[in-house]
Amino acid sequence: MPTYSASEISSLGGDRETALIAGDGGLQFVNKLRFSITGIGAGLAWLAFGLSCLRWPDIGDWPRTEAVAYTAFAIAGGIAIATTAQAALGKFGDGVQRRAPWLFALGVFLTLWELATAKFGWLPLPFFPPPQSIVEVYTDDLPKLLDSAFASVKLQLGGYFIGAVVGFLTGVSIGWSRLAGYWVHPILRFIGPLPATAWLPIAFFTFPSAWSASTFLIALATGFPVTVLTWSGVASVSTAYYDVARTLGAKPSFLVTKVAIPAALPHVFVGLFMGLGASFAVLVVAEMIGVKAGLGFYLQWAQGWASYNNMYAALIVMSLLCSGAITLLFKVRDRLLVWQKGVVKW
Amino acid sequence: MLDRPTTIAPDILEVSDVGKIYQASNGPVEALRSVNLTIRKGEFVCLLGASGCGKSTLLRIVAGFETATMGSVTMYGFPVDKPGPDRGMVFQDYALFPWLTVRDNIGFGPKHRRLATKLVSELTDKFMAMVGLTAFADRYPHQLSGGMKQRVAIARVLSNDTDVLLMDEPFGALDALTRSKLQEELVEIWRTTGLTVIFVTHSVEEAVMLADRVIVMSAGPGRIDCEIEVDLPRPRDVASPEFNALRREVTQKLTSHIAGSRGKAADS
Ligand SMILES: Nc1ncnc2c1ncn2[C@@H]1O[C@H](COP(=O)(O)OP(=O)(O)OP(=O)(O)O)[C@@H](O)[C@H]1O
Ligand SMILES: [Mg+2]
């Protein structure tokens, strides 16, 4: 039976050996404790961040410095405990352990950032706010930020949904019907490549509200790639599938719904991804220019007041939302396209 | 019905005077010329011929994918003008629906005939068992070997209550061992179901192994050159002298036509 000394274990960050020693539960738990170098390192990095907040006086007026420092200490302790008791904590412990190198890097980055901005002013100040001033936005300006995020999500969801549905239906019909292709294809070629933002001035004049104009533009930006890729997906379906389906007695409507669309789905998702990216861009521009709400508007407003910490805070929220949307789309795709081999994991 | 000797079985399919001209970009291609063929119910017929002699074309016309330029195909006396569930096709490259599991591929036909859900799953289970894939019911095609894929393709046609099974070099892409295993299974299925099979191949051995009747085709333009009855009892033994005699005879017929068509091509 192998025995492990502490030094052997600590040389392997991710050692997950579970000691199965018969005896009382306490002993068993103690035997599950393993020091992990990366875990301790990450804890120390966050500790350093907290200390760097307290060690030197701020060169500006930031009320959240102490709170940030104590939060950093708590995080440092949490990381150290979670990685040490990893075996006992199950999935959560594993998750923290796996992310320990990243947590370490993050701690180091925050420490350097803190020093370079709040303490020694190596970076010019209004443009590079310290961490505590960004945290301050989340604690003091949260309602406004949440309102903005909510407005953005609402606008984006509506426009994207309309664009995706219309694009999908258009793509299927021009891929399937010669007549639809004849009439829609030239229009698509004429209008599609135009950046949706080029429509901004016209859209804001012709639509009854800035909100409906923006919804239209987001739908347009989404619709074009979805249409083109759905169309190419439907057009590239192997004729053998149609042949088989017809010998199995499928009617034309079945050929569309049960053969053409499932076979084209991988292409459709590429279109949906491209549309998502394009629509984010339109969303932000539309909010900055016309809609008086949303994260784009918040950014614009913060810039007007030269409050760069608000801008960074909004950017972080925006990035989380966009990334979340893409993750969601990947999740949907992974569910629908389990039959495809070798799909990319996001 | 099954004990009735095949010689007096009714005709099921009649190909009369069929010709096919493809309009290719570099001018018309005559793929078939005055092909006449009668298939009896329950018969196992192999179409044998060199590459390009129009075997696939003939099969696709029978299936209803292509229309004959001349002549007609009738089934039970009714003209064939479009694909239908009475004529099921199995392709060399399987053409399984990659987005459906084994079970759903096999159940595709019954489901689309709007049979009751219970009946669909009964049919599916029955034919899945017949081709020995019950354990792989929930796999997707990309997770199957070539032999398994072809089994699924066969079961997919069978579950659809087909009368005539059309097979275009179905085992061409398989290794020798899998191929002979599937040949055995196919013969077994054919015997138990009373199907009519039209099987395209360019392997003489495969044709003699499987068929009641081998139809030898020749190219330039594609036509039927002769028919050879295979009267050997099943299961057939590849090593037996009778089998080899027949194989030699068929090979001779085949090569003489190839030589003949070459000669003609040189003349013109
Ligand atoms: N869609 C098409 N357009 C033009 N010519 C075609 C087409 N399909 C087949 N042909 C031609 O018709 C002839 C017969 O083709 P076919 O595919 O029926 O031959 P085959 O006997 O099945 O050959 P193989 O054993 O290689 O599959 C060939 O000369 C081929 O080039
Ligand atoms: Mg062929």
pLDDT tens digits, B199-213: 999 899 999 999 999
Distance (Å, whole) CA A21 – CA A32: 10
Distance (Å, whole) CA A199 – CA A191: 10
pTM: predicted TM-score of the whole model, two decimal places: 0.82
Higher-pLDDT residue of A145, B6:
A145
How many A×B Cβ pairs under 8 Å? 72
Distance (Å, whole) CA A345 – CA B4: 60
**Do residue A338 and residue B140 have CB atoms under 8 angstroms apart?**
yes
Proximal ligand: closest to the CA of B49:
1
- Whether B198 has a pLDDT exceeding 70, the answer reads yes
Residue among A247, A258, A339 minimizing CB distance to B88: A247
Helices (H), chain A: 6-10, 25-32, 37-55, 65-84, 86-89, 91-114, 131-140, 142-176, 178-191, 200-206, 210-235, 239-247, 252-254, 261-289, 295-304, 308-336
The protein residue with its alpha carbon nearest to ligand 1, atom 18, reads B54
Contacts of A245 in chain B (CB under 8 A): 108, 112
Q: How many CB atoms lie within 10 A of CB A190?
A: 9
Residue among A240, A337, A341 minimizing CB distance to B95: A240
Does residue B142 belong to the interface with chain A, where contact is any CB pair within 8 Å?
yes
The protein residue with its alpha carbon nearest to ligand 1, atom 26, reads B51
Q: Report how far ligand 1's centroid is from the alpha carbon of A65 (Å).
A: 79
- Whether B263 has a pLDDT exceeding 70, the answer reads no
Residue (of B146, B203, B166) closest to B61 by Cα position? B166
Q: Report how far ligand 2's centroid is from the alpha carbon of B56 (Å).
A: 4
**Do residue B88 and residue A249 have CB atoms under 8 angstroms apart?**
no
What pLDDT does residue B230 have? 92
- Which residue of B lies nearest to A339 if distances are taken between CA atoms? B99
Higher-pLDDT residue of A14, B134:
B134
Contacts of A254 in chain B (CB under 8 A): 112
The CA distance from B43 to the nearest CA of chain A, in Å, is 20
What pLDDT does residue A292 have? 85
Cross-strand bridge partners of residue B13 = B39, B75
- Which residue of B lies nearest to A252 if distances are taken between CA atoms? B112
Does residue B112 belong to the interface with chain A, where contact is any CB pair within 8 Å?
yes
Residue listed under structure tokens 């509506």: A158
Phi then psi for B17, rounded to 5 degrees? 55, 40
The CA distance from B106 to the nearest CA of chain A, in Å, is 10
A→B interface, C-beta within 8 Å: 238, 240-241, 243-251, 254, 258-259, 262-263, 265, 337-341
**Do residue A247 and residue B113 have CB atoms under 8 angstroms apart?**
no
Does residue B149 belong to the interface with chain A, where contact is any CB pair within 8 Å?
no
What pLDDT does residue B261 have? 52
What is the per-residue pLDDT across B64-89, written as a single tens digit (0 to 9) for each? 999 999 999 999 989 998 898 899 99
Asked whether the beta carbons of A293 and A267 are under 8 A apart, the reply is no
Does residue B160 belong to the interface with chain A, where contact is any CB pair within 8 Å?
yes
Contacts of B84 in chain A (CB under 8 A): 247, 249
> Which residues of chain B from 230 to 259 reach within 8 Å of chain A, CB to CB?
none
Distance (Å, whole) CA B180 – CA A162: 55
What are chain B's domains?
11-86+163-267 (3.40.50.300)
Token pair belonging to B214: 């081998």
The answer, yes or no, to whether any atom of ligand 1 lies below 6 A from the CB of B201, is no
**Do residue B156 and residue A258 have CB atoms under 8 angstroms apart?**
no
The answer, yes or no, to whether any atom of ligand 1 lies below 6 A from the CB of B236, is no
Average pLDDT over chain B, rounded to an integer: 89
The CA distance from B101 to the nearest CA of chain A, in Å, is 8
Distance (Å, whole) CA B82 – CA A56: 85
Q: Report how far ligand 2's centroid is from the alpha carbon of B50 (Å).
A: 9
Contacts by residues B172-181 (CB-CB < 8 Å, ≥ 24 positions apart): B172/B92, B172/B201, B173/B92, B173/B93, B173/B146, B174/B146, B174/B147, B174/B150, B178/B145, B178/B146, B178/B147, B179/B206, B181/B147
- Which residue of A lies nearest to B90 if distances are taken between CA atoms? A244
Proximal ligand: closest to the CA of B201:
1
Distance (Å, whole) CA A51 – CA A73: 8
Range with lowest mean pLDDT among A94-98, A207-211, B7-11, B27-31: B7-11
**Do residue B85 and residue A341 have CB atoms under 8 angstroms apart?**
no
* Rg of chain B taking only CA atoms, in angstroms: 19
Q: Report how far ligand 1's centroid is from the alpha carbon of B28 (Å).
A: 12
The answer, yes or no, to whether any atom of ligand 1 lies below 6 A from the CB of B55, is yes
Distance (Å, whole) CA B44 – CA B231: 12
Cross-strand bridge partners of residue B37 = B15
Distance (Å, whole) CA A38 – CA A100: 6
**Do residue A248 and residue B98 have CB atoms under 8 angstroms apart?**
no
Low-confidence ranges of chain A (pLDDT < 70): 1-27, 29, 342-346
Proximal ligand: closest to the CA of B66:
1
The protein residue with its alpha carbon nearest to ligand 1, atom 7, reads B22
Determine the length of chain A: 346
What pLDDT does residue A27 have? 65
Range with lowest mean pLDDT among A65-74, A265-274, B4-13, B236-245: B4-13
The CA distance from B112 to the nearest CA of chain A, in Å, is 6
The answer, yes or no, to whether any atom of ligand 1 lies below 6 A from the CB of B62, is no
Ligand 1 atom closest to B222 (CA): 14
Strand ranges, E, within chain B: 11-24, 27-40, 44-48, 70-75, 78-79, 87-90, 164-168, 196-201, 213-218, 223-229
What pLDDT does residue B70 have? 93
Proximal ligand: closest to the CA of B35:
1
SS3 annotation, A55-121: HCCCCCCCCCHHHHHHHHHHHHHHHHHHHHCHHHHCHHHHHHHHHHHHHHHHHHHHHHHHHHHHHCC
Q: Report how far ligand 2's centroid is from the alpha carbon of B54 (Å).
A: 7
Q: What angle do CA B209, B210, B214 make, to 5 degrees?
A: 95
- Which residue of B lies nearest to A264 if distances are taken between CA atoms? B99
The answer, yes or no, to whether any atom of ligand 1 lies below 6 A from the CB of B57, is yes
